[in-house]
Amino acid sequence: MAFYFEKVMEYFVNPLNSGEMENPDGIGRAGNDICGDVTEFYIRVKDNRLVEVKFKTYGCGAAVAISSLVSLMATDKTIEEAMKIDNKAVEAEIKGLPQNRSHCSQMGPQALHSAIADYKSKVQARG
């Protein structure tokens, strides 16, 4: 794992916000056909703000690290702000990934956006 940057290793060894959430307001999932990794995000929303974000990732160290970072980046953001988190923002924050792992930077934001879409559909269904 010597090819991972320090920040990736930090979030892989000590992931923050890892685990499932009871009764989340939204659940999102993203997978990667290249390596088979899967990420699920759980969000709790209050007053249009993500007050809690958790994740579960099955995959390589980079996928776990990215999920942890995305959960931190999204917590306490408005829904609109969280929707702006993308792979470029993640890669800038994580200070880069090895070229063969750059696809991992897309899964976290995709799962987060999917969880937000799930939340919005539930709110809309309630009317």
Active site residues: 35, 104
Structure tokens at 25: 């307001």
| CB neighbourhood size of 124 (10 A) | 8
Look up the pTM and report it.
0.87
pLDDT at 2: 42
CA-CA distances (angstroms) from residue 61 to 52, 57, 104, 115, 120? 23, 10, 9, 22, 31
Number of domain units in the chain? 1
**What is the domain range of residue 103?**
1-126
Per-residue model confidence as pLDDT tens digits over 40-59: 999 999 999 999 999 999 98
CATH number of the domain that residue 81 is part of? 3.90.1010.10
Residue 121 — very low, low, confident or very high, per pLDDT cuts 50/70/90?
A: very high
